[in-house]
Amino acid sequence: MNVVSRKYSHKNTGWRLFFSTIIARAYPRVIGQQREISWMLFEVIMPMLAVIAYVFVYRALNAPEEYIGFVVMGGAMTAFWMNILWSMSSQLYWEKEQGNLALYIMAPNSMMAILLGMALGGMLATAMRAIAVTLLGVWLFDVTFTVSSYLQLFLVFMLAMVALYGMGMMMASAFLMFGREAWHIANLAQEPIFLASGFYFPIKSLPFWVAAGASIIPLTLGMDAMRQLIFPTGIKFGFLTVQLEIIILAVLSVVFIVTAKVLLAHIEKLAVREGRITESRR
């Protein structure tokens, strides 16, 4: 009897609880995406239309052939930005509207683990969309990739993702504080980010201080560095050197994750002490 009671009374704590929470929150999204295959189809076709439009514009203007590859890469990377914007930044607000936020705050697990699990659960569709856009771009437009350093490319991509997801967790708490305006802020941020981050053109084309300001978004420097590493003449269109962009991405990763932890802890304290985060008050 004691053995049975100990078996069912076991509680995960620390890092075990953190990773268990990530798996628990990722599982419903993975299963849900398999039940709605049509969503994946639309998430691949609709972004590809924008990529095709930019390709035709660049070819009509006789732009350098590298721009075609830049557009294909930008179209693939938009999947990660959309995952951050809708699966992390706006998530706490949606959970509040559905009545789940109070349960998350009362639970003994970390809010960062909950958000990370939600985002990772959406990574299945995100990765499929990015891979599909890349393969379609290679097939339709004969884009070729020449990687100069696989190690640096892997490092840039991982640092960009860590910084981006840290930014998403930070924005989640900020969006929650804005209340009903979170939906409008998310819609408002979508297109300006596409422009400022250089999804479809080299960020070097913008004025220096505009490009420097846009570098606060991790995908800006991440795409710029990956373009320099993937395309033979990418260095010519680079905003900064790859080594400097790696350092900046590492700094952004630390800053965003620490800031996200502080903001999420602040929200939990407000919810517990005042109840004005989880309840609608007039």
Q: Is residue 134 part of a domain?
A: yes
For residue 232, the SS3 value is coil
Question: Longest Cα pair distance anywhere in the chain, in angstroms?
Answer: 78
Can you give the residue range of the structural domain that contains 100?
A: 15-273
List Cβ<8 Å contacts ≥24 apart for 127-133.
Answer: 127/79, 128/40, 128/44, 129/40, 129/43, 129/44, 129/47, 129/76, 129/79, 130/76, 130/77, 130/79, 130/80, 131/76, 132/44, 132/48, 133/44, 133/47, 133/48, 133/51, 133/72, 133/75, 133/76, 133/79
With CA atoms as reference, report the closest residue to 90 among 11, 228, 159, 182.
182
Report how far residue 114's alpha carbon sits from residue 169's, in angstroms, rounded to the nearest whole number.
Answer: 10
What pLDDT is attached to residue 141?
A: 85
Q: Is residue 9 part of a domain?
A: no
The pTM of the full predicted model, rounded to 2 decimals, is: 0.82
Domain count, the chain: 1
Q: Residue 218 burial by CB count (10 A; 0-12/13-18/19+): exposed, middle or buried?
A: buried
Token pair 């305006």 is found at 181
Report how far residue 110's alpha carbon sits from residue 134's, in angstroms, rounded to the nearest whole number.
Answer: 35
What pLDDT is attached to residue 276?
A: 63
What pLDDT is attached to residue 282?
A: 42
The tens place of each residue's pLDDT in the chain, 282 residues long, gives 455 555 555 666 667 788 888 888 878 777 776 666 666 666 677 777 888 888 888 888 888 888 888 888 888 888 888 777 776 777 777 777 777 777 777 777 777 888 888 877 777 777 777 888 888 888 888 888 888 888 999 999 889 988 888 888 888 877 777 766 666 777 777 778 888 888 888 888 888 888 888 888 888 999 999 989 988 887 888 888 999 999 999 999 999 989 988 888 887 777 777 666 655 544
∠ CA 80-84-87, nearest 5°, is: 115
Other beta carbons within 10 angstroms of residue 130's beta carbon come to 21
**Contacts for 194 with CB less than 8 Å, ≥ 6 apart:** 78, 81, 200
For residue 204, the SS3 value is helix
CA-based torsion, 51, 54, 60, 62: positive or negative? negative
Q: Is residue 158 part of a domain?
A: yes
Q: Is residue 113 part of a domain?
A: yes
Report how far residue 70's alpha carbon sits from residue 11's, in angstroms, rounded to the nearest whole number.
Answer: 49
Identify the H or E element spanning 169.
Answer: helix 150-178
Q: Is residue 20 part of a domain?
A: yes
What does the block give as tokens for 31? 């299963």
Q: Is residue 36 part of a domain?
A: yes
Q: Is residue 6 part of a domain?
A: no
CA-based torsion, 258, 261, 267, 268: positive or negative? negative
